[in-house]
Structure 1
Amino acid sequence: MNDAAAMSPESLSPEQAQEIRDRLDAVAGQAAEAAQRSGRTAEDVRIMLATKTQPVEKIRVAIEHGFTLIGENRVQELTGKADGLADLEHEAHLIGPLQRNKVNHTLRVDSCTCIESVDNLPLAEKLHNRLEVLDRSIDILVQVNTSREDSKFGAAPEAAAELIESLASFDRLRIRGLMTIGLPGEIDEVIRPSYADLRQLRDRLIGDGILPEDATELSMGMSADFALAIEEGATIVRIGSSVFGARPPASSPT
């Protein structure tokens, strides 16, 4: 377990724990309001705890408060925190890029129910083949680079249909929807299109019979813009700094 994950219970005061709970409640309220603006209910949106470099004790407070979905960017943290959270009912999604040589490590984590960052055929094939050996299946989201930034992972929107059609033969992978990372910034009119584009892409792919009808998940939006993402149809939003505060530095690379 890395240093960030090894925070001891004594290092989190009752006041700090309560602050996390209060922030979670505030986020949930904002998410519910945004869902209502989009013609949906709070139950239509899941709040994911973005726990990159966050210590286990902070994560435990949030899970015990009823926020049981966590998202990890790094396989090392996903595996390193697993023991410290094993006694709590929760599920984890891998939301960062997955290297093929880390597939086995990822699939060893029982709480990991979804890989949100599948964006290429070789990775999907590696996942499928390993799952065949394990005789199990896993949920996936296809990551799409709707912002078209060179620095971001994800299939190009125009390549998503071909990729998803290629995944059809991998019956160990259950496609649940799409994921994207929006444009950074503070101007709604700049950020909104990358989220609207993902929703429209999902609807088009379902309408064309390329995505399964139940593959409706849209994982998009973070602490700074989650309400906007919900307005555009997000079903999963990632909340980190607005609940936990600034991220501690990572102790080592994945």
Structure 2
Amino acid sequence: MSADTDLIPARLDKVRRRADAAAERSGRSGSDVRVMLATKTQPAELILTALKHGFTLIGENRVQEVVAKADELSAVPHETHLIGPLQSNKINHALRHVSCIQSIDRLDIAEKIQRRLEAQDAVVDVYVQVNTSREDSKSGIEPAGAVHFVRSLAQFDRLKLKGLMTIGLPSEDHEEIRPSYRNLIAVQESLRGAGFEGVDELSMGMSHDFELAIEEGATMVRVGSSIFGERPKPR
């Protein structure tokens, strides 16, 4: 563990430099792009090293991991987003620990979150997940249904829509991946054309393609293996 821990600060700095350069290529400042630590399966010790180095935005795929790591990570102020699907029986646990849910793609789960937030007199930031690669295995709404979905989502006033999230096509060929990110930009533009002006954030891009995502307009990238190394293979 200590060897991996020692490598993390240099890896973080390298990712930040690459993100800044990609932002400049897209005509923006590096400060326009946030780097999220994708911390699925990563132990709290490694995450703490990154938090102490100044990278204080983390994304978890599973609520049970958010809960399991919460006490240990509380030593360093940070922001946690849920980037995986949320089950109804995990809503209460999620709302105790996350400031944003990036995986909203069903109105029934949005309604259940709304009811819980009303009981708490609280609000939560959300992103709508869009399946821009149109893969059956991926979660997310269809791009063509985005305006209708967001219009329906607006009835839940405890959910504050901040942006859109997508998972790009799993390919090493950037020209195959690029359309899925351009599709998210198109969805954002269609929402703005329908009067939804506040949908400013675009969460897209991971370790293998985050520079491409930034060049295409990402305001947030989710980077894990470039920082923590490859996840252990399941037995």
Question: Normalising to structure 2: TM-score of the pair?
Answer: 0.97
Partners of 1:90 and 1:50 in 2: how far apart? 13
Displacement of 1:130 = 0.3
* 2:171 aligned with 1:189: no
- Using the alignment, how far apart are the partners of 2:57 and 2:206 within structure 1? 14
Aligned partners of 1:250 and 1:82: how far apart in 2?
A: 24
Instruction: Describe the SS at the equivalent of 2:59.
Output: strand
1:132 aligns with 2:96: no
1:7 is aligned to none
1:175-233 residue CA offsets vs partner (Å, 9 max, x unmatched): 00100000011111100000011012102211220x2x232100000000000000110
How many pairs are equivalent? Answer: 235
Percent identical among aligned pairs is 59
Cα-to-partner distance string for 1:91-136 (whole Å, 9 max, x where unaligned): 0000001111211111122xx1100000010010011110000110
Counterpart in the other structure of 1:222: 206
Contact 2:38 2:223 in 1 (8 A): yes
Q: Secondary structure at the match of 1:21?
A: helix
Letter in 2 for 1:55: P
1:17 is paired with a residue of what secondary structure?
helix
User: Alpha-carbon deviation of 1:249?
Assistant: 5.4
Note the 1:33-182 alignment, pairs <5 A. Answer: 33-109=21-97, 112-182=98-168
Report the 3-state secondary structure (helix = DSSP H, G, I; strand = E; otherwise coil) of the residue aligned with 1:71.
strand
Moved over 4 A (4+): none
| Contact 2:4/2:228 (8 A) holds in 1 | no
Deviation, structure 1 residue 250: 6.9
Amino acid at match of 1:97: P
How many angstroms does 1:84 deviate by? 0.8
* 1:226 partner letter: F
- Name 1:232's counterpart in structure 2: 216
- Give CA-to-partner distance per residue, 1:23-79, whole Å, 9 cap, x none: 000000000010001111110000000000000000000000000000000011011
Secondary structure at the residue paired with 1:108? helix
Unaligned runs of 5+ in 2: none
| Paired letter, 1:228 | L
- AA paired with 1:219? S
Relative to 1, partners in 2 of residues 1:102 and 1:249: Cα closer, same or farther, differing over 3 Å? farther
